[in-house]
Structure formats: structure tokens, C-alpha cells
């Protein structure tokens, strides 16, 4: 029952549609109808710039980390099974939110928050891998796929039993599958890189100009 409760709580927290709420409350638009249509921080960066994009990503990150902290706080007998499942379901909630007909974002920031909550050392290595791929390729998708492919082995290296580490297989598979479409767009030349977004914002006319 505790594992089921953890999964349900994590899913509901992950389902909070950050980008949608920010877009509607601050700007009066539906982020799902802007840019790539993705309900996440990366699309918010493309549509409204880095400041709002970072805010969106930070809140999504806290959905993952906050889930782990809440479970540790309310359950005196929490187990790593509960935490690993919760980290996965928080990201799944972001990707398939019950509040928006199961159409959400990529889940990267929420999963990152969950990984920090599970083990900051593993999370930092994953972050280095992601940033390295972004620096080399100018895209996040290859790095996300790489991190999803190795994070289970990283947890095992840092002493977690296979029975615990393998609980991340479902979310790893989902993350890889969700980012393969980005890889396809990159190969077709249809996916703008992060540097293109930066140049676009720098060229944008200033108010009063």
C-alpha cells in the first residue's frame, strides 16, 4: 500500500502542468499551441525566452525533488523501492498529466529533480553527461538518451542493488522513446539547436527601439 501511495502521489504531483499554468496565468496563451507544442521548459524558452523557461524548468525540477522529500517526510518507514518508483512516476505524471488529457512534456527536469532526491552523486554525473552532449551536439535530446541509457548502471556502481536500480527501466525506456522523435527532426534538419535560440533572442528588437 505504501508503494502504491507513493506512486499515486508522485504521479499527481508530476501531473501539475507548470508550463500550461504559467502560459495561461502570465501571458494568456496555451503553450500546447505555441512553438513545438511541447509542454515543457524547452518550449517555453523558445516561445518566451530564457527567464520564463528557467522558471518553468525550476518548478518542474522541484516536482521531482519535492516528491522524494515529501515521501521521506510523511512516511517514517520509507524504502528505496518507494523512492525509485516515486521518481519514475513523477516524471511519468509530467509526460502524461491527468489534468491535461495525458499530453505533457518530456519529463527531463522532473526526472532530474527525482534523481537529485535519490542520490546527488548519480544526479551530478548524469548532469555532466547531459551538458557534455549539449556542448558537443548543440541539442539536449542525444544527452537525454545517453543519460537514460546509463543511469541504471550508475546507481548500481554507487552501491544500489540491481533489484532497486532496475526499477528505473520503465522511465528510461519512456524517456528514450520520447526523445527519438527529436533525433529524427535533428537528422531532417528541422530541429533548431540551443545556439539558434540564443541568437534568435539576441536579435529580437528591444522595447522602445
Tens of each residue's pLDDT in the chain, 209 residues: 889 999 999 999 999 999 999 999 988 898 988 877 788 888 888 888 888 999 999 999 999 999 999 999 998 889 999 999 999 999 999 999 999 889 888 899 999 999 999 999 999 999 999 999 999 998 889 999 999 999 999 999 999 999 999 999 999 999 999 999 889 988 988 777 766 655 665 555 444 43
Q: Identify whether 209 is part of a domain.
A: no
pLDDT recorded at residue 205: 47
pLDDT recorded at residue 206: 45
pLDDT recorded at residue 202: 53
85, 114 contact by CB (below 8 A): no
Q: Identify whether 166 is part of a domain.
A: yes
Its domain, for residue 30, covers 2-203
How far apart are alpha carbons 112 and 99 in whole angstroms? 22
Q: Identify whether 208 is part of a domain.
A: no
61, 110 contact by CB (below 8 A): yes
pLDDT recorded at residue 47: 85
Cell reading at 17: 502542468
Tally of structural domains, the chain: 1
Q: For the chain, report the end-to-end CA distance as a whole number of angstroms.
A: 60
How far apart are alpha carbons 98 and 148 in whole angstroms? 24
pTM above 0.85, yes or no: yes
Q: Identify whether 135 is part of a domain.
A: yes
pLDDT recorded at residue 49: 83
Amino acid at each position: 500500500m505504501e508503494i502504491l501511495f507513493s506512486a499515486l502521489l508522485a504521479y499527481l504531483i508530476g501531473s501539475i502542468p507548470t508550463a500550461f499554468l504559467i502560459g495561461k496565468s502570465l501571458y494568456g496563451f496555451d503553450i500546447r499551441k505555441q512553438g513545438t507544442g511541447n509542454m515543457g521548459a524547452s518550449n517555453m524558452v523558445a516561445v518566451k525566452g530564457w527567464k520564463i523557461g528557467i522558471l518553468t524548468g525550476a518548478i518542474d525540477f522541484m516536482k521531482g525533488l519535492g516528491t522524494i522529500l515529501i515521501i521521506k517526510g510523511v512516511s517514517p518507514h520509507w524504502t528505496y523501492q518507494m523512492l525509485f518508483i516515486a521518481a519514475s512516476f513523477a516524471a511519468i505524471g509530467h509526460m502524461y498529466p491527468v489534468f491535461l488529457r495525458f499530453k505533457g512534456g518530456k519529463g527531463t527536469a522532473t526526472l532530474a529533480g527525482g534523481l537529485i532526491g535519490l542520490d546527488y552523486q548519480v544526479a551530478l554525473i548524469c548532469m555532466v553527461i547531459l551538458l557534455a552532449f549539449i556542448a558537443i551536439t548543440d541539442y539536449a535530446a542525444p544527452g537525454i538518451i545517453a543519460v537514460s541509457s546509463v543511469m541504471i548502471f550508475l546507481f548500481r556502481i554507487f552501491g544500489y542493488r540491481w533489484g532497486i536500480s532496475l526499477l528505473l527501466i520503465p522511465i528510461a525506456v519512456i524517456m528514450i522513446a520520447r526523445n527519438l522523435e527529436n533525433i529524427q527532426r535533428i537528422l531532417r534538419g528541422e530541429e533548431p539547436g540551443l545556439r539558434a535560440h540564443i541568437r534568435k533572442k539576441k536579435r529580437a528588437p528591444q522595447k522602445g527601439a
